[in-house]
Amino acid sequence: MSDVSSFKMNFQQQTDSAEEDSTKLKVDTTRFQPKSKRTVFSALESKGNDVDPKKLAIFPAFTLQQYLKGEAAGLYVQEPSGEPGTVQNMFIRGTSQPLVSPREQFATQPLVVLDGIPLVGEHPFAYDIQQFKFDRIGPATNTLANINMDNIESVQILKDLGSTSVYGPKGVNGVILLTSKKNSTVRKINFESHIGVAQPSGVTTVNGRFENDFRRQFYDKYTANGSYSENDSYPLYLSDSLNNDFFGPANWNDKYYGSALSYSVNAGISGGSERANFRFGVGTTTSGGVADNTGADRYNTRFQINMRPTDWMAFTAIINANRVDRQRNRNVRDRLSQVNYIPDLSSPVAPNKTKYSEYLAQFDKGFDDNRSNIVEGLVRLGIDLGKFKFNTTFGLDHNEGYRDIFYPRTLLQTTNYASNYYGYSRRVFFDNTATYDLKINDVHTFNFVVGSSFQYDTYKYNYAYAYKGSNDFVKLNLLQSDPNRSDYLEPFVFRRELVWKFLDKTRNNQISFTGKASYNYKEIYTFSAMLRADASSNQQPTNRWFYSPILSGSWNMKKDFLETNDFVSDLNLRASVGRMGRAELFDNYAQGPQYTAFIGFTGNLIAPGYNGFGTLTRPYNAGAIPYGLEWAYQDQLNVGVDAAFLKNRIRASVDVYAKEDKNQLLGVPGAAEYGYTTIIRNGMSISNTGVDVALAADILPSTQKVSWTSSLNLNFNKNKLKALPGGLSELIIGDRLLKVGESVDSYWLLKNEGIFNTDAEVPVGANGQKMSYNAITLKAGDPIWKDLNNDNIINNSDRTLMGHALPLVSGGFNNEFGYGNWSLAVNMYFNLGRDLINQEMANRFDFVNREGLNNINSVREVTFWEKRGDYSKYPLYNPWSSAAPYQANQDIFLEDASFLKLRTVSLGYDLTKLMKKKMPRLERFYVYGSVYNVFTLTKYTGQDPELVNYTGYDSGYGIQIPRTYMLGVKMDF
Q: Which helix (H) or strand (E) holds 696?
A: strand 679-700
CB 304 within 8 A of CB 278: yes
**pLDDT value of residue 966:** 95
For the stretch 57-80, pLDDT in tens is 888 889 999 999 999 999 999 999
**pLDDT value of residue 593:** 78
Confidence of residue 599 (pLDDT cuts 50, 70, 90): low
For the stretch 861-882, pLDDT in tens is 999 999 999 999 999 999 999 9
CB 922 within 8 A of CB 955: no
Q: Does 472 or 883 have the greater pLDDT score?
A: 883
Mean model confidence pLDDT for the chain:
87
**pLDDT value of residue 14:** 38
Residue 473 has pLDDT above 60, yes or no: no
Region of poorest pLDDT, from 601-605, 646-650, 934-938: 601-605
Strand duo 276-288 + 260-272: pairing? antiparallel
Residue 35's closest CA among 904, 654, 648, 815? Answer: 648
For the stretch 754-790, pLDDT in tens is 999 999 999 998 888 999 999 999 999 999 999 999 9
Region of poorest pLDDT, from 29-38, 118-127, 808-817: 29-38
Residue 1 has pLDDT above 80, yes or no: no
Just give the CATH number of 7-196+260-592+627-739.
2.40.170
Q: Does 3 or 661 have the greater pLDDT score?
A: 661
Residues pairing with 809 in the sheet: 716, 832
CB 228 within 8 A of CB 201: no
List, in sequence order, the alpha helices (H) in 720-872.
839-845, 847-852
% of the chain with per-residue pLDDT over 70: 88
CB 511 within 8 A of CB 525: no
DSSP 199: E
Residues pairing with 822 in the sheet: 819, 909
d(CA 183, CA 261): 33
d(CA 361, CA 359): 5
Strand duo 772-773 + 793-794: pairing? parallel
Q: Which helix (H) or strand (E) holds 971?
A: strand 963-972
**pLDDT value of residue 13:** 40
For the stretch 528-569, pLDDT in tens is 999 999 999 999 999 999 999 999 999 999 999 998 898 999
For the stretch 840-854, pLDDT in tens is 999 999 998 888 677
Backbone torsion region of residue 410, taken as left when φ is above 0, otherwise alpha when ψ lies between -120 and 50, otherwise beta: alpha
Give me the mean pLDDT over the 371-393 stretch: 95
Confidence of residue 19 (pLDDT cuts 50, 70, 90): very low
DSSP 480: P
Residue 134's closest CA among 857, 732, 677? Answer: 857
d(CA 838, CA 945): 10
CB 538 within 8 A of CB 583: yes
Residue 466's closest CA among 597, 602, 611? Answer: 602
CB 56 within 8 A of CB 298: no
* Side-chain half-sphere CA neighbours of 271 within 13 A: 7
**pLDDT value of residue 613:** 60
d(CA 254, CA 234): 29
| Amino acid of residue 596 | T
| Amino acid of residue 465 | Y
CB 592 within 8 A of CB 623: no
Q: Does 597 or 471 have the greater pLDDT score?
A: 597
Compute the CA torsion angle 126, 130, 132, 135 (nearest 10 deg).
Answer: -30
**pLDDT value of residue 185:** 85
Give me the mean pLDDT over the 441-470 stretch: 90
Give me the mean pLDDT over the 426-455 stretch: 94
d(CA 171, CA 90): 13
Helix (H, G, I), strand (E, B) or coil at 454: strand
**pLDDT value of residue 612:** 55
Residues pairing with 209 in the sheet: none
Confidence of residue 52 (pLDDT cuts 50, 70, 90): confident
For the stretch 272-326, pLDDT in tens is 998 999 999 999 999 999 999 999 999 999 999 999 999 999 999 999 999 999 9
Compute the CA torsion angle 9, 11, 17, 18 (nearest 10 deg).
Answer: 20
Residues pairing with 381 in the sheet: 315, 392
d(CA 380, CA 432): 10
d(CA 582, CA 634): 7
Residues pairing with 500 in the sheet: 465
Give me the mean pLDDT over the 941-955 stretch: 92
Residue 603 has pLDDT above 60, yes or no: no
Write phi, then psi, for 830 (nearest 5 degrees): -145, 150
% of the chain with per-residue pLDDT over 90: 70
**pLDDT value of residue 229:** 61
Residues pairing with 388 in the sheet: 385, 436
Non-local CB neighbours of 899 within 8 Å, separated by 6+ positions: 830, 831, 936, 937, 938, 940, 945, 946
**pLDDT value of residue 588:** 85
Give me the mean pLDDT over the 121-133 stretch: 88
Across the beta sheet with 117-118, the strand order is 50-51, 152-158, 175-180, 111-114, 117-118
Q: Does 190 or 41 have the greater pLDDT score?
A: 190
Give me the mean pLDDT over the 601-621 stretch: 60
- Around Cβ 357, how many Cβ atoms within 10 Å? 12
**pLDDT value of residue 393:** 96
Strand duo 924-938 + 706-723: pairing? unpaired
Residues pairing with 76 in the sheet: 91
For the stretch 191-210, pLDDT in tens is 999 999 999 999 999 999 99
Non-local CB neighbours of 161 within 8 Å, separated by 6+ positions: 550, 576, 577, 578, 579, 580, 634, 636, 638
DSSP 958: P
Residue 479 has pLDDT above 50, yes or no: no
Residue 970 has pLDDT above 60, yes or no: yes
Give me the mean pLDDT over the 670-699 stretch: 89
**pLDDT value of residue 826:** 95
Region of poorest pLDDT, from 17-21, 625-629, 754-758, 765-769: 17-21
**pLDDT value of residue 246:** 94
Give me the mean pLDDT over the 469-492 stretch: 45
Residue 471 has pLDDT above 80, yes or no: no
**pLDDT value of residue 805:** 95
Give me the mean pLDDT over the 225-230 stretch: 64
Backbone torsion region of residue 523, taken as left when φ is above 0, otherwise alpha when ψ lies between -120 and 50, otherwise beta: left
